């Protein structure tokens, strides 16, 4: 561990990673790297996983993640516990019955705007 968890959210994420690692009989590191790899495969964003092993044992631990495939339920559980609260006003808009109808980008100011309409 690089640092101890300091929030309930961090504790829940680590507890979930540990439980899934036990199910797969592997280390938490392998589960975390498999999770990132599988999230990357489901995303339209480019993600590069950078590992930094200092020993051959650490390299082996990192490469072990390539043999781990998480189930849809495990991925969903990890995604659920790691979701970041957007806070106000984002969550108010998302839960208030408004739907996004159009997005425009202003290249002059490098800004974008979401336009919402009530359903």
Q: Give the per-residue pLDDT at 7.
A: 83
Provide the whole-model pTM: 0.67
Q: Give the per-residue pLDDT at 117.
A: 52
* Higher pLDDT pick, 73 / 116: 73
The 10s digit of each residue's pLDDT in 9-57 is: 888 999 999 999 999 999 999 999 999 999 887 777 777 888 999 999 9
Alpha-carbon distance 76 to 59, whole Å? 27
> What are the beta bridge partners of residue 111?
106
């Amino acid at each position: 561990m690089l640092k101890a968890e300091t929030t309930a959210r961090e504790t829940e994420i680590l507890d979930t990673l540990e439980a899934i690692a036990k199910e797969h009989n592997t280390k938490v590191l392998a589960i975390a790297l498999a999770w990132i790899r599988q999230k990357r495969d489901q995303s339209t964003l480019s993600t590069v996983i950078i590992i930094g092993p200092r020993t051959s044992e650490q390299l082996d631990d990192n490469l072990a993640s390539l043999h781990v495939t998480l189930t849809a339920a495990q991925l969903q559980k990890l995604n659920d516990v790691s979701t970041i609260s957007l806070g106000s006003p984002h969550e108010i808009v998302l839960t208030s019955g408004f739907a996004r109808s159009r997005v425009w980008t202003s290249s002059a100011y490098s800004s974008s705007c979401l336009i919402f309409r009530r359903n």
